[in-house]
Amino acid sequence: MEEIPPEEPKKTSLGMDENVEGLLAYVLGWLTGIIFLLLEKESDFVRFHAMQSTITFLGLTILSFILGFIPVIGAVLGGLLWIVGLIFWILGMVKAYQGERYKFPVFGNLAEQWVGKVNI
């Protein structure tokens, strides 16, 4: 029997493998999301993950900032929000590295809608 070699990962306009660049879009949250939205011009896969990272983590950052003004309950909700953010962060990196176009609840649909409209 003849062995079939594994499929080569697709390269991006930056010369990286799509799955690696998708993972990197999550590493520093919304910051790397914006960077890869600005730099990556061809890969829809990477642009989707960069947009999802930007929307998710910028939204969570703003919400966390607002909750910081609410005594006691704001700290509790902020802690829960931090846990949710950590889960999304790990899940986003793992799924992107596995080559999946995994959508987070709410944020994923927004990212899918907006990624085509943003041509930076």
Work out the angle at residue 78's Cα, subtended by the Cα atoms of residues 107 and 95, and round it to the nearest 5 degrees. 35
Closest CA to 35 of 44, 45, 43, 47: 47
30 close to 61: Cβ distance less than 8 angstroms:
yes
Q: What is the mean pLDDT of the chain?
A: 90
74 close to 81: Cβ distance less than 8 angstroms:
no
pTM, full prediction: 0.86
pLDDT at 115: 86
pLDDT at 97: 96
pLDDT at 46: 95
pLDDT at 65: 94
- The segments of the chain whose pLDDT lies below 50 read none
pLDDT at 94: 97
pLDDT at 5: 55
pLDDT at 59: 96
CB atoms within 10 A of CB 7: 7
CA-based Rg of the chain, rounded to a whole angstrom?
Answer: 16
60 close to 85: Cβ distance less than 8 angstroms:
yes
